[in-house]
A and B are shown apart, each in its own frame.
Chain A
């Protein structure tokens, strides 16, 4: 289908910068996710790709064709809105036919396509229903149908699952992903839900405060966050940040926490900040009898097979994911160590990860 390229794309509203100069390439057939907290500029980026918003500067290329200033209607891109935006005065069938009518397809072709799409999405029985009588999930399907029926160059989706209830959302996640595998269309999907992003995306771009902070596969983003924001935004519970009260030299492979030495992946970069942070995922930490950070069990969340313990130590709080057999009473003293191969050190001033044998920055 097609490739979408953003070059130095920027958007500001008066003196508020919604999207800072962004560069991004979304490959053909890719399920690409724009992930970030609300107000981070992800929807604005999507709307610029769609042509609903004009960029302040920069370029948008669709299949190497500059579409920056083309009208939405001329870009051949479909958009699925958060609130679906099904036309309330038309029934399901006419909603699906609406984009095709504009492209002056013959009636037989329109009917054929509607049939195909409604079969794909299993909405044949709804074709003559009023939009207002549909459930949230069915509206979602019809909204997708209206996008698919056009066979556009790319799909843009703005939190399309945001209004569904949790159980149904999970199901729709699977369906969407399956749908993508079936029709193989370039898709840009905006969400603030990291679980959705992780479960569906081929690649994810994490945005914060109008900037693309990092992009990569879900695995890369989870295991190797570029800065503290990504570490804390991705993963539930979030990454732990344990303060280190010394500078980091190049090729340093030991850090000191609370007077004890711990091994970390050998650093390549360094920093002269006097406070830095060790970032470590809760599942990479474990209780131990030997050397470790000592603290008191402050909270314990039971999650079936696993438990999440909140530990309060003298200098910070952190969470540890343990199996449910682990015996750790609230209020008891514990010592916690971590998997030394997966520690990431973040510069205390810039919040960026420091390059090491574990985390490579390009």
Chain B
């Protein structure tokens, strides 16, 4: 019998199933490490290094406690002399024969990541939008060459210029500063932002801003009131790409930041417990690290899906 419910352009049942299978396999492969690191975050320190690894284990918040605190080991007598623990986490630490010495640096590093990540994203999108608008609307001498030049800044891996940037940053005092990192990530992201946003700006008819200019707005006013709101899709897509890069960037962060402006990526793997890496604390840190960019992407997701068609589909 002929299946009339399916249009001729739809693929056959077999290839659809195959496609689904490939996607499932891909999803599993990519999700296993993430699942594993999240699970590790909920293991106790001993359980996190048990061999063979435990898939089923008794959950513990030890990793999270260790992530946020520094601890010192004390003798049995010292611990017995202390007043009873006031909080659950103090109790947990005491049960490992330690006391909390103070907060760890994680919170500060995490805050650095947020400041630098969002700062660089905002700056890239803002500058990118201005440049894209100019490239889209004005007659600029050597326009094509300039656009190519902007693109060419991404033709080598950014880390290739690490050494000159390191020296330059040290000379002008931008090393290990938030501003320095924001500028650096903005520079790296800007070419992507300009190219993506120019595509979106080209799609917006000039009449809109001309109408606004006749209605009494300056070009700048028209840009903010009329052009930007209509480029929301493009801005959201661009912001996600920029955010993912600056949030995850590792190499420059290792090289250029140490104390003041160190971000979470270089910090997390260096969390040391007694006798080596504290894997449950690293798992906990990684889990927390995943959250902001996940929220950011989910919030902007509906724009992203529309956006990655590069403005081909109109609202």
**A residues lining the B interface (CB < 8 Å):** 50-52, 71-73, 75, 77-79, 81-83, 85, 87-89, 98-99, 102-103, 132, 146, 150
Contacts and interface: CB of A to CB of B under 8 A. Distances in A.
Contacts, number: 58
Given A88-B230, A89-B229, A81 B211 contact: yes
Contact of B217 (A75, A78, A79, A102): A102
Nearest to A90: B229
Interface in B216-233: 216-218, 221, 225-226, 229-230
Q: Which of B225, B230, B315 has the most CB of A within 10 A?
A: B225
Interface string B134-161: 0000000000000000000000000000
Interface stretch (B17-25, B202-210, B282-290): B202-210
B52 to A, nearest CB: 58
B229 A79 contact: no
Given A98-B215, A102-B215, A103-B216, A87 B210 contact: no
Interface of B: 205, 207-208, 210-218, 221, 225-226, 229-230, 315
B205 A73 contact: no
B141 to A, nearest CB: 13
16 contacts: A50-B214, A71-B213, A71-B218, A73-B213, A78-B214, A79-B210, A81-B210, A81-B211, A82-B207, A87-B208, A87-B212, A98-B212, A98-B215, A102-B221, A132-B315, A146-B211
Given A73-B216, A150-B215, A88 B315 contact: yes
Contact of A52 (B214, B215, B221): B214
A72 B221 CA distance: 13
A88 B211 CA distance: 12
Contacts of A79: 210-211, 214
A85 B207 contact: yes
A148 B181 CA distance: 51
A74 to B, nearest CB: 8
Given A81-B207, A83-B205, A72 B230 contact: no
Contacts of B210: 50, 52, 72, 79, 81, 85
Contacts of A98: 212, 215, 225
Contacts of B207: 81-83, 85
A76 to B, nearest CB: 9
Contacts of A150: 215
A102 B216 contact: yes
B226 A87 contact: yes
Chain A CB within 10 Å, residue with most, of B215, B218, B225? B215
Nearest to A53: B210
Given A79-B214, A87-B226, 18 more contacts: A50-B210, A51-B214, A52-B214, A71-B213, A72-B213, A73-B214, A73-B215, A79-B211, A85-B208, A85-B210, A87-B211, A87-B212, A88-B208, A89-B229, A89-B230, A99-B216, A102-B217, A102-B221
A88 B229 CA distance: 9
A73 B214 CA distance: 5
A131 B82 CA distance: 71
Contacts of B211: 79, 81, 85, 87, 146
A132 B212 CA distance: 18
Contacts of B229: 89
A102 B215 CA distance: 8
Nearest to B215: A99
A263 B213 CA distance: 58
A85 B225 CA distance: 14
Contacts of B218: 71, 73
A275 to B, nearest CB: 45
A93 to B, nearest CB: 15
A88 B225 CA distance: 12
B213 A52 contact: yes
A297 B231 CA distance: 60
Most buried by B among A52, A72, A98, A99: A72
